[in-house]
Amino acid sequence: MDTKAIEYHVRGILEAIGEDPDREGLRETPERVARMLEEVLAGTQYTNHEIAEMFGKTFDKPYGNDDDNIVVMRDITVFSYCEHHMALMYDMKVNVAYIPRGRVLGLSKIARICDMAARRLQLQERLGADIAEIIAEASGAIDVAVVISGSHSCMTARGIKNSDAKTVTATYRGKFRDDPSLRELIKP
């Protein structure tokens, strides 16, 4: 990430909106924004495949090879930035479910995958698809579901300004796509 270019452009934005970037409260703002973007958009540095490799620590499934067992993790908190307005997507809760195929992911890895996939300019729909793809690759599972509920500041703070609006998206793969009873496990 080119933080010097970000600093330059943030300074230009401040000037374009009529601010004095040299006044006391704004002098360090371009550097702060550059550091913030480097942190909150860290996922842009990695492909889905690289994230799967980073957080792909798995363990032998402790309960044999019965494919009827399901791992569900609920209410993983993430935030992201909408690629259309670069506006914050917040109060986001991710529910992930997968049917293990001989190996299970470490639980913290599921949350880390969700977090890193969210640290990109995103659409909520793509975020769910990215998480499902990464979970599938990291775990070897073909049956994966991801449901995300969240608020978008492009809806709540500007435009329509509907502060109670929530967006829910769902990505279903394998058995989750075909069996509605499985989808009940991960509803928000």
Q: Which tokens belong to 19? A: 């601010």
Q: Which residue in the list 28, 45, 84, 125 is annotated as catalytic?
A: 84
State yes or no: is 122 an active-site residue.
Answer: no
State yes or no: is 152 an active-site residue.
Answer: yes
State yes or no: is 83 an active-site residue.
Answer: yes
Q: Which residue in the list 82, 125, 133, 137 is annotated as catalytic?
A: 82
Per-residue burial over 46-82, b = 16 or more CB atoms within 10 Å of its CB, e = otherwise: bebeebbeebbeeeebeeeeeeeebbebeebebebbb
Q: Which residue in the list 9, 31, 38, 85 is annotated as catalytic?
A: 85
State yes or no: is 124 an active-site residue.
Answer: yes
**Range list of β-strands (E), 54-156:** 58-60, 71-82, 88-98, 103-105, 121-122, 144-152
Q: Which residue in the list 114, 122, 124, 133 is annotated as catalytic?
A: 124
For residue 117, count CB atoms less than 10 angstroms from its CB and return exposed for 0-12, middle for 13-18, buried for 19 or more: buried
Query: How many residues are given for the chain?
Result: 188
Closest CA to 143 of 94, 185, 113: 185
State yes or no: is 85 an active-site residue.
Answer: yes
Q: Which residue in the list 15, 53, 83, 125 is annotated as catalytic?
A: 83
Active site residues: 82-85, 124, 152, 154
